[in-house]
Structure 1
Amino acid sequence: MVRAAMTIAGSDSGGGAGIQADLKTFSALGVFGTSTITAITAQNTVDVTAVEVLPNEVIAAQIAAVLDDIDIHAIKIGMLGSPALIETVARAIEGFDGPVVLDPVMLSKSGVALLPDDAVDALVSVLVPRATVVTPNLPEAARIVSEDVPSTDEGTQAQGRRILDLGAQAVVMKGGHAEGEICRDWLITQDDAVSFEAPRIETRNTHGTGCSMSSAIAAELAKGSALTDAVGTAHSWLHQAILAADDIDIGKGHGPVHHFHALWS
């Protein structure tokens, strides 16, 4: 049986992040992708020039339409622009009993703020406790716990545990914003802290890495993988997608990763 996942996120007109990246990731990893669009962005590899959040009732209707008809085995949640929208999504998935991957999207790759402060508070109180796993990068994690960005592995793990204290079942602290020759992601649970390491790649083409990582974890969870295995597979797959990103040469700024690196010749 083909497994299916749903992404609840914003649309990226440039195709590198958001809904587009999520659906590409699901497809690349052998999962049927469904979607709920929360916002439309005018966006490319250089900048975000406009954001239009869709009406809450339209967003709720999209979620209901999918869940009422299709067996969904995992949900990934990305860009959410307001407290009311966060509450809407939480209510809409209330009866879903599968894994939920929450990617707390707060900034675009070009530095445009995508989540206001009051929405961060709502995200923490409403959706973090609902999440099977939360996947912040280091600046996002610091904003969630109202601290400085960690500069050590010990500090990264400590912030991950503070997010656990907010109600999440697990946290993946993504290390793409850290320094050093090794890029290290940490899976933090109540029982353990497991690192996933790869050589850091020098490239400007990293647009959509966070979206793609979280949707890759969701895809693997949809296929029935244990969380540690899902994170490990997602980490390795994304590393190869970044490694191959320069081959497709898209745009003038931060280009996308190569989601189909294993499929395109």
Structure 2
Amino acid sequence: MTPLTPPRVLTVAGSDSGGGAGIQADLKTMLALGVHGMSVIAAVTAQNSLGVKGYWELPEEAVRAQLDAVLGDIGAQAVKTGMLASPTLVETVSEVLGAYPAPLVVDPVGVSKHGDSLLAPEAVETIRTRLMPVATVVTPNLWEVEQLTSVVVEDEKDLRRAAEAVLGLGPRWALIKGGHLPGEPVDLLTDGTSEYLFRAERHDNRHTHGTGCTLASAVASHLALGADVPTAVEKAKEYVTGAIAHGFPLGGGIGPVDHAWRWRS
């Protein structure tokens, strides 16, 4: 019998040498959720549990060649973007993926878990005007909401205002991640008509490196598996919550979430 090919998901992001976030987290998530992960590396970081020591973006022609190679031959049922580093790379990725017929999950990465910048300041406007309008789902945290829209979220009631501002930039759905608010973590998903609140237990665990990458990749994976957006987000939240609960120490700083928590459990 010929083995069935699993759904395919492409990540376009940066490499994390510590293995907790970026391309590495994306591919681990995809494997854990039963899809075939593929990658376009847009930047290379030198980082560990203590922070980002430096990053280097790849040339535009290298990123475009990777996109053409994967999408032109293998194809994808969903695509996720993460760290894109520069205006040129944002423009290139937006051009290619905006014309590709698959759901696009955008994690508008601006800083690392340690607060290190991963995006050139001049690239923010390019994300607003080029990448956001072609996205199916955008997954900003509260700092990224402020960076993109100038809306400051101080409590749960501000989530709706933040989502409206993000939707004004053009994506079909906005998932505003409220995990940095005090109290019980709550995220808001909306397309401007329907609204869904996702609550989760707050785990007393500082080892949370890679949560944003993992969530966006999990959403893309479930979209590739055939779920609609609300169901994909619900399933992704369940997976990420478990990964956070099982996060483990690594090095001398912030450790990663455990992408293999279901297997280890």
TM superposition score normalised by structure 2: 0.96
What runs of 5+ residues in structure 1 fail to find an aligned partner?
none
Partner of 1:164 in structure 2?
167
Partner of 2:156 in structure 1?
153
Query: Is residue 40 from structure 1 mapped to residue 37 from structure 2 by the alignment?
Result: no
1:108 to partner: Cα distance:
0.6
1:114 to partner: Cα distance:
1.1
Instruction: Please tell me whether the aligned partners of residues 98 and 134 of structure 2 are also in contact (alpha carbons under 8 angstroms).
Output: no
For 1:179 and 1:63, the matched residues in 2 are separated by: 40
Query: Is residue 175 from structure 1 mapped to residue 175 from structure 2 by the alignment?
Result: no
Partner of 1:3 in structure 2?
7
Partner of 1:234 in structure 2?
236
Cα distance per residue 1:68-122 (max 9 Å; x no partner): 1113000000001111111111122243111000000001111111112210110
For 2:254 and 2:8, the matched residues in 1 are separated by: 30
1:156 to partner: Cα distance:
1.3
For 1:75 and 1:156, the matched residues in 2 are separated by: 26
How many positions carry a matched residue from both structures? Answer: 261
Matches within 5 A, 1:167-246: 167-180=170-183, 182-246=184-248
For 1:89 and 1:40, the matched residues in 2 are separated by: 16
What runs of 5+ residues in structure 2 fail to find an aligned partner?
none
Cα distance per residue 1:5-37 (max 9 Å; x no partner): 000000000000000000000000001000000
Query: Which stretch of structure 1 is more off in the superposition, 24-33 or 186-195?
Result: 186-195
Partner of 1:73 in structure 2?
77
TM superposition score normalised by structure 1: 0.96
For 1:63 and 1:263, the matched residues in 2 are separated by: 32
Cα distance per residue 1:134-173 (max 9 Å; x no partner): 000011011110232x112221111111111111100111
For 1:71 and 1:128, the matched residues in 2 are separated by: 22
* Secondary structure class of the residue paired with 1:204: coil
* Secondary structure class of the residue paired with 2:100: coil
For 1:52 and 1:142, the matched residues in 2 are separated by: 25
Residue identity in the other structure for 2:88:
A
Query: Is residue 259 from structure 1 mapped to residue 262 from structure 2 by the alignment?
Result: no
Partner of 1:53 in structure 2?
57
CA RMSD of aligned residues (A): 1.0
For 1:72 and 1:85, the matched residues in 2 are separated by: 20
Residue identity in the other structure for 1:222:
A
Instruction: Please tell me whether the aligned partners of residues 25 and 215 of structure 1 are also in contact (alpha carbons under 8 angstroms).
Output: yes
Query: Is residue 26 from structure 1 mapped to residue 8 from structure 2 by the alignment?
Result: no
For 2:179 and 2:30, the matched residues in 1 are separated by: 21
1:128 to partner: Cα distance:
0.3
